[in-house]
Structure 1
Amino acid sequence: MRRHLIQKLLIIPFVLGFYGCASLLFYPDRTIRLTPDALGLNYEDVNLSTPDDIKLHGWFLSAQGQPRGTIFFLHGNAQNISTHIFSVAWLTEIGYQVFLLDYRGYGLSEGSPGLPEVLTDVAAGFNWLVTDSRVSTRPVFLLGQSLGANLAAYFAGANPAVRRQLSGIVLDAPFASYSDITREKLAQIPLTWLFQYPLSRLMPDEYSPIRNIADISPVSLVIICSETDDIVPASHSIKLFEAAGAPKALWITQGPHIATFGQEQNRQRLLFFLEAHVR
């Protein structure tokens, strides 16, 4: 009797936490651990505001030499742009400008993260980017990793005007739906195994990329997954790839979660994709 009571008491925080709580998807860090100049990069601090008056911060990294295009980079659910910069800093050497944005609550951005609010942040960042004179005459690509890949996919799929301004989209380690990934994580914990289905249904699945990834077509789409990713299984990328419209490609790699561009062969493959769409 006492054992059952303890189990019920322990599960209360999970029920309260998951009830409508998309904020559990986000693990922001406000500490800026380095700035791009520490990596020898030329950059500009970008400060902008959302329609709901949240001030956001990002970095615009200048390309070395004549810019070939621009990458709008959306990072994963933890830390901030000062740690995720390593995934994209190398692109500046090849002639690509990169815009990294911290969602609300991350780094120097105000507010607290949640869905759908962070999609408002993505839209504000995109609108700033495509109206900048350094960008407007060159190809623009959307690159997201993990949660950032989910945000990128849903944002592009839900906005025809955005798709018309994109030359390509790259999703690295996305998950098909918020409820699916929540259920899988709950199933790994003995305490929450029995509650994986009811609790996962409380996640905001209406913003999951599986719902509108088909609408990204005809923008060229690349989905990347690692067979050895122990955070987001490759099955999520395969499911999204099957639901997406052409033109599309699925790259199956090896290595840890979102460590993709630490490997030279993956960098070269991304560059080949970008160069094929530079016009």
Structure 2
Amino acid sequence: MAAVFLMASVARGMSFLRVLVLIFVFMLSACESLLFFPQQQLVRSPADVGLAYVDVRITTADGGTVSAWWLPAEGKVEATVLFAHGNAENISTHLASVYWLPARGINVLLIDYRGYGQSSGEASVRGAQMDILAALQHLSAQQALADTPIVVLGQSIGASLAGVAVARNGRQYPALAGVILDAGFTGYADIAKKVAASNWLTWPFQCLAAWAMPEGENLLDEISAISPLPLLLIHGRDDPVVPYRHAERLLAAARQPKTLISYEGGHIQTFSRTENRDLVAGFIRDAAERWRASRKQ
């Protein structure tokens, strides 16, 4: 989506008609590439912020390799969080969203989708969902984690990817205890149309942008199937990227148990606030306790 604006900005000096044709051709040929903006270079490691970590390589069902970081919990382990980041850069730039969790007794596995960081392949919606499932399988296979519940945390496009992946496949992973979706959007066509409408140059292509997005992968259509896992939605009321109404529609479509945390802030600014960290950590603890109690029945 941002690539459309980038193309428009570098086209300065071209005729308006030529720019429109260029955008039209780009949309038709690129489709899903409008959603992903991977960066291969890692700009820092967890060690740079004083965290212990382990480099992990996970093999996907189609033979690819997912690069990940494992951040072990400090002290008594409450749960493990599988973190699916947003659509730009890689795990090294999204570390700020989860670096605080180990100090609260929560393991973290951060994964880079295919095409991101040191992961192999090329990014796609279904490919990234496959990467998330490969990470879930990896965690489920660790004997040392047999008694540790897993909570999936997705941000932005990661929320949509992880939400759909869990809705369709969550029952295959008995250790799953809960799902957290931060700044997720209802569907790819909805968000593409919104982005196109926000700029005068791409405004005429709203319907084309929506048409170019993948079909049958929308979180709004799948979110009800996350139940009976507890679901936490988080969204900033001032989010300029994914408007707050997306959270309201997702909440309405989801089934119990479900909760929405809203705050005065922008896109994925959630964890810059201590109160939001406290609420999310509380949700993870509650989900973990519920999971452990169910195992005793």
Measure, in 2, the Cα distance between the counterparts of 1:163 and 1:229.
33
Measure, in 2, the Cα distance between the counterparts of 1:37 and 1:109.
20
Task: Check the 8 A contact 1:163/1:216 in 2, yes or no.
Answer: no
Q: Match for 1:64 among 60, 74, 77?
A: 74
Measure, in 2, the Cα distance between the counterparts of 1:208 and 1:48.
26
* Structure 1 residue 121 displacement after superposition: 1.1
Measure, in 1, the Cα distance between the counterparts of 2:179 and 2:138.
18
SS state at 1:142 partner: strand
User: 1:16 is matched with which residue?
Assistant: 25
* Structure 1 residue 161 displacement after superposition: 2.3
Where do 1:123-272 residues align within 5 Å? Answer: 123-162=133-172, 164-272=174-282
Query: Which stretches of structure 1, 4 residues or longer, exceed 6 Å deviation after superposition?
Result: none
Measure, in 2, the Cα distance between the counterparts of 1:163 and 1:183.
35
Measure, in 2, the Cα distance between the counterparts of 1:160 and 1:80.
25
SS state at 1:12 partner: helix
* Structure 1 residue 12 displacement after superposition: 2.4
User: 1:81 is matched with which residue?
Assistant: 91
Task: Check the 8 A contact 1:23/1:115 in 2, yes or no.
Answer: no
Task: Check the 8 A contact 2:137/2:173 in 1, yes or no.
Answer: no
1:107-142 superposed Cα distances (whole Å, 9 cap, x missing partner): 111121112111111111111111112322111100
User: 2:116 is matched with which residue?
Assistant: 106
* Structure 1 residue 15 displacement after superposition: 2.2
* Structure 1 residue 54 displacement after superposition: 1.7
Instruction: Please say which of residues 37-46 and 197-206 is displaced more in the overlay.
Output: 197-206
Q: Match for 1:95 among 105, 114, 130?
A: 105
Q: Which amino acid aligns with 2:143?
A: S
SS state at 1:205 partner: coil
Task: Check the 8 A contact 1:163/1:219 in 2, yes or no.
Answer: no
Task: Check the 8 A contact 1:225/1:252 in 2, yes or no.
Answer: yes
SS state at 1:119 partner: helix
SS state at 2:239 partner: coil
* Structure 1 residue 275 displacement after superposition: 1.4
Q: How many residues align?
A: 275
Instruction: Please say which of residues 6-15 and 249-258 is displaced more in the overlay.
Output: 6-15
Cα separation, partners in 2 of 1:165 and 1:12, compared to 1, 3 Å? farther
Measure, in 1, the Cα distance between the counterparts of 2:270 and 2:94.
12
1:172-198 superposed Cα distances (whole Å, 9 cap, x missing partner): 000100000000110011122122013
User: 2:6 is matched with which residue?
Assistant: none
Task: Check the 8 A contact 2:125/2:161 in 1, yes or no.
Answer: no
Task: Check the 8 A contact 1:69/1:135 in 2, yes or no.
Answer: no
Q: Which amino acid aligns with 1:26?
A: F
Measure, in 1, the Cα distance between the counterparts of 2:38 and 2:123.
8
Q: Which amino acid aligns with 1:235?
A: R
Structure 2: gaps spanning 5 or more residues: 1-13, 293-297
SS state at 2:205 partner: helix
Measure, in 1, the Cα distance between the counterparts of 2:90 and 2:215.
24
Instruction: Please say which of residues 239-248 and 20-29 is displaced more in the overlay.
Output: 20-29
SS state at 1:134 partner: helix
Where do 1:112-127 residues align within 5 Å? Answer: 112-127=122-137
Matched, 1:39 2:49: yes
* Structure 1 residue 56 displacement after superposition: 1.5
User: 2:39 is matched with which residue?
Assistant: 29
TM-score if structure 2 supplies the norm length?
0.89
* Structure 1 residue 274 displacement after superposition: 1.3
SS state at 1:237 partner: helix
Matched, 1:7 2:20: no
Task: Check the 8 A contact 2:56/2:67 in 1, yes or no.
Answer: yes
